[in-house]
Amino acid sequence: MEYIAKILIMAVSSIFINNFVLSRFLGLCPYLGVSKKLDSAFGMGMAVIFVMAIASAFTWLINAYLLIPTGLEYLQTIAFILTIAALVQFVEMFIQKSAPALYKSLGVYLPLITTNCAVLGVAVININDHLNFLDSILNGFFGGVGFTLVLLMMAGIRERLEKAEVPKSMQGMPIALIIAGCMALAFLGFAGLKLG
Amino acid sequence: MNTILIPALLIGGLAAVFGIILAYASKKFFVEVDPKIDEIVSILPSANCGGCAFPGCAGYADAIVQNGAAVNLCAPGGEEVAKKIAAIMGVSLTPKERDIAVIHCQSGGYNNTAFKFEYKGINSCRSAATIAGGPNQCIWGCVFQYDCVKACQFDALHITEDGMKVVNEDNCTGCGACVKACPRSLIELVPISKRVHILCSSRDKGPIAKKSCGNNTACIACGLCVKNCPTQAITIVNNLAIIDYSKCINCGICASVCPTKAIEDRMLPRKEAFIHEDQCIGCTICAKKCPVQAISGELKHPHKVDPKLCVGCEVCVKACPKNAIEMVEKGSTVALAKEN
């Protein structure tokens, strides 16, 4: 029971309070780039959840069994980038062969997130917060869910924005950035939540 | 020394291991993609307009190779692309004539629209047309918020000074994006060789249609065009005349008899046919094809065109096996006949 409560707290804190996009400002590129259509935003979100979860697992293993024993923690960043890039490549190939249907819905987005800083961010945060293996995976998973939530909200707003009359100088990226700012302000409200 | 060597070895080793795994995986998990798909994708125009009804150019290429979709569905690419795809797929190509968009409404500008109220809302036809039956009196006509112009990817729709929309026939690829964008279904794709169009979509009864049209060019369903059409290509359905383009021969008679000028003749100014007697072998094909019986003559004797009857449809020019018929300026046939 205690463990379930812990998981729930972790979910709320990484989805809302420490949202990767709106309070940690990681993964802004896909947040603004792939949020024009709800369909593609959903595909991207699913791919990010998937990659963040497995990247958390693998980087934790690399850190615990390679970097710490050799005392090379300062190589974290470069080692993690290497691991994530190779992992995503491998997963892409694997899915293409074994699950073509899944590849069709996720495939295009997988290479895009190879070097996404939200993915690298979750790996580094896991280590800095001294999370254990299972918690790291959960943190990655919920971080991805938070990213997807915000991405879908943004896509929903931008789809409505298409119909609105926006002043010419504000059309496109400027108005999207302002909306991103407003959403970040709104998410700031979660910062006051006290859990556990 | 070790402080450099160990990290270098570790990262290098890690990279090497990953490299080997990936190299192995790329062989092990290699998925064979038909090289034809890549070839076709590189030929298609990559506009991803969806005119072929497949999801994007890659989706179309996939459908051609996997499911045997037709090779001539790419409207922007036209005949040239269809030919190249046919060559890759090894199929013979039945050429498809280019379609262009025709807007079946002559109203819908600042000066020639009768308004019910002023519309100040979301800048979109779809929205304007749904509010209280639209801002203009004609509930069938153009509400000119220019959804069609916005939908066009090929710069083929332009707005004139009066706020009217004009289709640039050279740029139009017949992809059908504007057809889908128009909430009142005013736009239709028509083969480019067809030059006579009914530019009204009002299904209202005659008097109402005429009153609500700001341009006074509504179809009032009088039936004159139906009676005068030599090929029975026009029918009146729900108070609106409609041309069956598979039967239309471009004679333009309907346009000349229409009392409200709802029918546009794009072949104006029309010329008249002239038969060069030295080339004519008297095969009578032209006389049989002429929709208005303007050509007369006996078998194996040179034929003549009656300039009073000729409507300038150019049907005989295309029919003549000896290319003996030429289109000349109106009234010049008499002089030419004397020369001969």
How buried is B276 (Cβ within 10 angstroms: 0-12 exposed, 13-18 middle, 19+ buried)?
middle
Band (pLDDT 50/70/90 cuts) for residue B94 is: low
Q: Which residues of chain B neighbour A164 with C-beta distances below 8 Å?
A: 122
User: What are A63-75's pLDDT values in tens digits?
Assistant: 999 888 888 888 8
Inter-chain residue contact A83 with B26, CB threshold 8 Å = no
A102 touches chain B (CB under 8 A): no
Q: Across the interface, do A93 and B124 touch by the CB < 8 Å criterion?
A: no
Q: Output the pLDDT for position B327.
A: 86
* CB-nearest partner of B21 from A66, A72, A90: A90
- In this prediction, residue A136 carries a pLDDT of 93
Residues listed for chain B: 340
User: What are the residues facing B101 on neighbouring strands?
Assistant: B189
End-to-end, the C-alpha distance of chain B in Å comes to 106
Least confident residue range of A111-115, B8-12, B291-295: A111-115
What are the chain A neighbours of B26 within 8 Å (beta carbons)?
93
* B147 to chain A, closest Cα gap in Å: 11
CB A125, CB A49: distance < 8 Å: no
pTM of the model: 0.52
Residue-wise pLDDT for B180-221, tens only, equals: 889 999 999 998 888 899 999 999 888 888 888 888 889 999
Burial B207-232 (b: 16+ CB within 10 A, else e): ebbbebbbbebbbbbbebbbeebbee
d(CA B194, CA B190): 7
Report the mean per-residue pLDDT for chain B: 85
**pLDDT for position A105:** 65
Q: Does A165 touch chain B (CB under 8 A)?
A: yes
pLDDT of residue B166: 87
Q: Which of A48-52, A174-178, B111-115, B327-331 has the lowest mean pLDDT?
A: B327-331
Mean pLDDT in residue range B238-261: 89
Q: Which amino acid is at A74?
A: Y
Of A62, A82, A90, the CB nearest to B25: A90
User: B16 — contact with chain A (CB < 8 Å)?
Assistant: no
pLDDT band, very low/low/confident/very high, at A145 (cuts 50, 70, 90): very high
Query: What's the pLDDT tens digit per position in B160-185?
Result: 888 888 888 888 888 888 998 899 99
Please report the pLDDT score of residue A107 as a whole number: 61
Interface contact A97-B22, CB threshold 8 A = no
Angstrom distance (rounded) from CA B68 to CA B80: 19
Q: What is the pLDDT of residue A28?
A: 83
Are the C-beta atoms of A127 and A66 separated by less than 8 Å? no
Model confidence at A94, pLDDT cuts 50, 70, 90, reads: confident
Average pLDDT of the segment spanning B95-112: 84
Residue B78's pLDDT band (cuts 50, 70, 90): confident
- Dist. CA A29–CA B246, nearest whole Å: 52
Quick check: B154 pLDDT over 90? Answer: no
Neighbours of A179 (CB within 10 A): 17
Selected residue of A73, A110, A165, A171 to mutate for chain B interface (largest B Cβ count, 10 A): A165
Q: Which range has the worst mean pLDDT, A103-107, A112-116, B242-246, B274-278? A: A103-107
DSSP state for residue A16 in the 8-state scheme: I
* For residue A153, pLDDT beyond 90: yes
The one-letter amino acid code at B98 reads R
B11·A82 Cβ contact <8 A: yes
Range of weakest confidence among A82-96, A101-115, A136-150, B299-313: A101-115
Q: Which residues of B touch A98 (CB under 8 A)?
A: 29
The per-residue pLDDT for B25 is 86
pLDDT of B335: 64
Q: What percent of chain B has pLDDT above 70?
A: 96
Please state, in angstroms and rounded to a whole number, the distance separating the CA atoms of residues B333 and B305.
9
Distance (Å, whole) CA A11 – CA A138 = 8
Q: Do B29 and A75 touch (CB under 8 A)?
A: no
The string of pLDDT tens digits covering residues A12-42 is 988 998 888 888 888 887 888 777 778 778 8
Lowest mean pLDDT among A104-118, A169-183, B196-210: A104-118
B332 pLDDT more than 80: no
Q: What is the ipTM of this complex?
A: 0.76
Does residue A112 surpass a pLDDT of 80?
A: no
To test the contact with chain A by mutation, choose from B6, B9, B18, B32 the residue with the greatest count of A C-beta atoms within 10 A, namely: B18
Structure token digits, residue B48: 């991803």
